[in-house]
Structure 1
Amino acid sequence: MGFLHNVREVVSACVKPKEKRVPKKTVNVRVKMDCEGCVRKVKHAVEDLKGVESFDVNQKMQRVTVTGYVDSEEVLKAVRGTGKNADNWPFVPYNLVAFPYVKGAYDIKAPSGFVRNTPDAAGDPKSPEMKLMRLFDDENPDACSIM
Structure 2
Amino acid sequence: MGGTIYYLSRLLGTGHSYKKRKQLHTVELKVRMDCEGCELKVKNALSNMKGVQSVEINRKQQKVTVTGYVEPSKVLKKAQSTGKRAEIWPYIPYTLVAHPYAAPAYDKKAPPGYVRNVEAVTLSSQLVRQEDQLTTLFSDENPNACSIM
Same fold (TM over 0.5): yes
Give the secondary-structure state (helix, strand or coil) at the position aligned to 1:26.
strand
Q: 1:124 aligns with which of 124, 127, 131?
A: 127
Query: How far apart are 1:10 and its partner, in Å?
Result: 3.5
Query: How far apart are 1:127 and its partner, in Å?
Result: 5.0
In the alignment, the residues of structure 2 paired with residue 125 and residue 95 of structure 1 have an alpha-carbon distance, to the nearest angstrom, of 23
In the alignment, the residues of structure 2 paired with residue 81 and residue 104 of structure 1 have an alpha-carbon distance, to the nearest angstrom, of 30
Aligned residues: 118
Match of 1:12 in 2: 15
In the alignment, the residues of structure 1 paired with residue 115 and residue 78 of structure 2 have an alpha-carbon distance, to the nearest angstrom, of 26
Identity percentage of aligned residues: 47
TM-score relative to the length of structure 2: 0.70
Q: Deviations over 1:111-140 (max 9, x none)?
A: 111101112456726759xxxxxxxxxxxx
Correspondence 1:39-58 to 2 at 5 A: 39-58=39-58
In the alignment, the residues of structure 1 paired with residue 66 and residue 107 of structure 2 have an alpha-carbon distance, to the nearest angstrom, of 24
In the alignment, the residues of structure 2 paired with residue 80 and residue 21 of structure 1 have an alpha-carbon distance, to the nearest angstrom, of 26
Query: How far apart are 1:77 and its partner, in Å?
Result: 1.2
* Structure 1 stretches lacking a partner, 5+ long: 1-5, 129-147
Give the secondary-structure state (helix, strand or coil) at the position aligned to 2:15.
helix
* 1:78 equivalent in alignment to 2:78: yes
* Letter in structure 1 aligned against 2:99: F
**RMSD (CA atoms):** 2.3
* 1:109 equivalent in alignment to 2:94: no
> Would you say the 8 A contact 1:33–1:62 is kept in 2?
yes
Q: Which runs of 4+ in 1 moved over 4 A?
A: 120-123, 125-128
Query: How far apart are 1:21 and its partner, in Å?
Result: 2.5
In the alignment, the residues of structure 2 paired with residue 58 and residue 25 of structure 1 have an alpha-carbon distance, to the nearest angstrom, of 19
Q: Does the C-alpha gap of structure 1 residues 62 and 121 become closer, same or farther in structure 2, counting only changes over 3 Å?
A: farther
Query: How far apart are 1:20 and its partner, in Å?
Result: 3.3
Q: Does the C-alpha gap of structure 1 residues 77 and 69 become closer, same or farther in structure 2, counting only changes over 3 Å?
A: same
Match of 1:69 in 2: 69
Query: How far apart are 1:11 and its partner, in Å?
Result: 4.7
